[in-house]
Structure 1
Amino acid sequence: MIMYRLPLLILAMSLLYIFIIPDEPLRFKLLFKLIPMAMIIFYATRQLPRKKSAAHRLILIGLVFSMIGDGTLHWFIIGLTAFLMGHIFYLAGFLTRWNFSWIRLITILPIAGYGLFMAREQIAALNQNGNESLIIPVLAYITVISLMVWSAIMTGNKWAIMGSILFVISDSILAWNMFISPVNHSGVLIMTTYYGAQFLIAHSLDTIVKDSNRIVW
């Protein structure tokens, strides 16, 4: 029964943080920001089979690094580094479940195109605003998250695919709002897509090994 109630509780705590918890004091805000991720990690552990694979362990570590990123993103470079590490673990985990398909393989082209577009826009904005020191970290992040979403697609697991795409959407809104131009309702859009992404990635742990043994599309 807990497996049916827990997703609803995660949703409730996510909505509480997004719509109700005030921005100040910061420690109070951060605490409630971390609660949904802690619950998502707990949910992920409940998805693990008795016989755990490298993919299970790597993706779970990625969730933990993401939670660290949540708590430190206020200090941008620290938080960015934690999320970068999280994506590297997601990438490594998804690659262990590689399930070749030409259709999935060529998705690298639109992903690369989108990554180049975001990189160009952010580099221009960073140069214009005198934040040249952030160019290399931002480029590294764009590269890794692009590879992460492609590796998720290559698993053929629908939950991992949807979660990784939502993660890109969330980070794109955050980056655009932070570096390029304001986005209306950015906070709500960023966090709803972010929590959704992490939950779907956590949910993928139940099927990612099974799905990799058959062609999905």
Structure 2
Amino acid sequence: MKTSFVIAALLGALYILLWPLHPYPFSYLLKAAPVLILALIGVKTLTGPVRIAYLLAMLGSAAGDIFLDFDRQLYLRQALASFLLTQIAYIVIFTRLRQRHLLSPAALLASTLLPVAGSVFLLWQFYPNTGAMWWPVVVYVLCLTAMAILALQTGQRWLALGGALFMTADALIGVNRFWLAFDYSTPLIVSIYMTAQLLIGYGLLFARRGIATRPAMV
């Protein structure tokens, strides 16, 4: 299983390295390949509701990856809908794994206030330029914020860091689209996003404390 995980990481790195050649044939498949491999590992490794939720998260991510690879501007709505499924599935998983008692009161407060404050600030900046996208963006940001808070409250460093980076990547998509466009946005955002998915995947699939899994397989 760990070999498959390494392959997923390498394919993600390959997509980023090949970005200067984009668009090229089947680039969307290369971009979606890492999360699809993670989905297969999850099917073989996880059990119960966590397995179902993780499979949905990865399928939603794969669809979102494909939409964004085709055209980040034209298919933003479809990508938002796809990644919304991912965020909801992660919310289900992280709610089951939340370990509030492992956090100090200060850490618990920070894990809630920082994502909320960041989201409020970004929505304030996005509002003038969202137009008809305003309410879809609000719904997505609310779910993204909840996902990040719950990830930070799992008490599991891989999930916490992965959730924080996922929120960072999606925030940068919004910044680039609705606030301040910046150069090399796609390779930067995809690098952070891929890292986030791999960290969450590692936390769920291999750092298994408190997670419903099948017996470890060599």
Letter in structure 2 aligned against 1:95: T
Q: Does 1:58 align with 2:30?
A: no
Q: 1:20 to 1:207 in 2, by over 3 A?
A: closer
Q: C-alpha distance in 2, partners of 1:208/1:148?
A: 19
**2:209 alignment partner, SS class:** helix
Q: Does 1:166 align with 2:179?
A: no
Q: C-alpha distance in 2, partners of 1:60/1:205?
A: 12
Does the aligned pair in 1 maintain the 2:43–2:51 contact within 8 Å? Answer: no
Q: CA RMSD in A?
A: 2.1
Q: Does 1:7 align with 2:5?
A: yes
Q: C-alpha distance in 2, partners of 1:207/1:40?
A: 11
**1:210 alignment partner, SS class:** coil
Q: Does 1:100 align with 2:104?
A: no
Q: Give the match for residue 192 of structure 1.
A: 191
Does the aligned pair in 1 maintain the 2:39–2:54 contact within 8 Å? Answer: no
Q: C-alpha distance in 2, partners of 1:11/1:81?
A: 25
Q: C-alpha distance in 1, partners of 2:87/2:66?
A: 16
Q: Give the match for residue 150 of structure 1.
A: 149
Does the aligned pair in 2 maintain the 1:177–1:186 contact within 8 Å? Answer: yes
Q: Give the match for residue 43 of structure 1.
A: 41
Does the aligned pair in 2 maintain the 1:163–1:197 contact within 8 Å? Answer: yes
Does the aligned pair in 1 maintain the 2:42–2:54 contact within 8 Å? Answer: no
Q: Give the match for residue 20 of structure 1.
A: 18
**1:205 alignment partner, SS class:** helix
Letter in structure 2 aligned against 1:65: G
Q: C-alpha distance in 1, partners of 2:98/2:108?
A: 10
- 5+ residue gaps, structure 2, are 212-218
Q: 1:59 to 1:208 in 2, by over 3 A?
A: farther
Identical positions, percent? 22
Q: 1:94 to 1:208 in 2, by over 3 A?
A: farther
Q: C-alpha distance in 1, partners of 2:183/2:160?
A: 26
**2:100 alignment partner, SS class:** coil
TM-score with structure 1 setting the length: 0.83
